[in-house]
Amino acid sequence: MRTALLILGLAMAPALAPVPGLADAGHGSGQMAVGMPAMHGHEPTRTIDVIMREDYDKDAPFVFEPSADMVFAAGETVRLHIVNMGEETHEFVMDTMAENAEHKVLMAKFPEMEHDDPNSVRLDPGEEADILWTFNKAGKFEFACLLPGHYEGGMHGALIVN
């Protein structure tokens, strides 16, 4: 009987494990340096449209729009509506500059690496996605596309939380 219960418990363990990428209101497991996924019931105060595309006629061939710094108030919950209007796959990742630099090195080694992070999306041409995010920590952060060559091609900018 004890063996049967042990086997049942081991079989159920994956189902009871936390789901990556979901915020845990009670324990803050979704908390990151740049903030956290919006909690259920926290409606965004505004929507920011973020376009990812190429512009091969420019010195910086990979483009985010808006190209200016994105500025938020500490505690603000926003919807980032991200659209890939380009012809290549792009990603949108929010984090500290140090974390993005570390992630960029990994992406150079493993460019097809799949992500399951609440602070990022990878989109094929024509795809779009939303990130509902609460910027609950003041500081200067970064958004970037960390696919090989894209960051160096101009796909990055500042996220400032006042």
The vertex-110 CA angle with 106 and 116, nearest 5°, equals: 80
Let me know if residue 102 belongs to a domain.
yes
Q: Which domain holds residue 131?
A: 36-161
Question: Nearest-CA neighbor of 139 among 59, 74, 76, 62?
Answer: 74
Let me know if residue 21 belongs to a domain.
no
Distances (CA, A) of 120 to 4, 56, 67, 99, 161: 41, 24, 18, 13, 18
pLDDT of the chain along its 162 residues, tens only? 444 434 444 444 443 333 333 333 333 458 999 999 998 878 899 999 999 999 987 777 999 999 889 999 999 999 999 999 999 999 999 999 999 999 999 989 988 877 778 999 999 999 999 999 999 999 999 999 999 999 999 999 999 999
Token readout for 5 is: 């219960």
Q: Decide: pTM greater than 0.75.
A: yes
pLDDT of residue 87: 96
Query: What CATH number has the domain bearing residue 53?
Result: 2.60.40.420
Token pair 């938020």 in the structure block, residue: 72
pLDDT of residue 60: 79
Backbone angles phi, psi at 8, to 5 degrees: -60, -45
pLDDT of residue 54: 94
Strand, coil or helix: 3: helix
Let me know if residue 100 belongs to a domain.
yes
Let me know if residue 68 belongs to a domain.
yes
Strand, coil or helix: 83: strand
> How many structural domains are present in the chain?
1
Let me know if residue 136 belongs to a domain.
yes
Let me know if residue 109 belongs to a domain.
yes
pLDDT of residue 29: 54
Let me know if residue 61 belongs to a domain.
yes
Let me know if residue 58 belongs to a domain.
yes
Spatial separation of the C-alpha atoms in residues 143 and 4, rounded to whole Å? 49
Spatial separation of the C-alpha atoms in residues 26 and 24, rounded to whole Å? 6
String of DSSP letters for 104-131: HHHHHH-TT-----TTEEEE-TT-EEEE
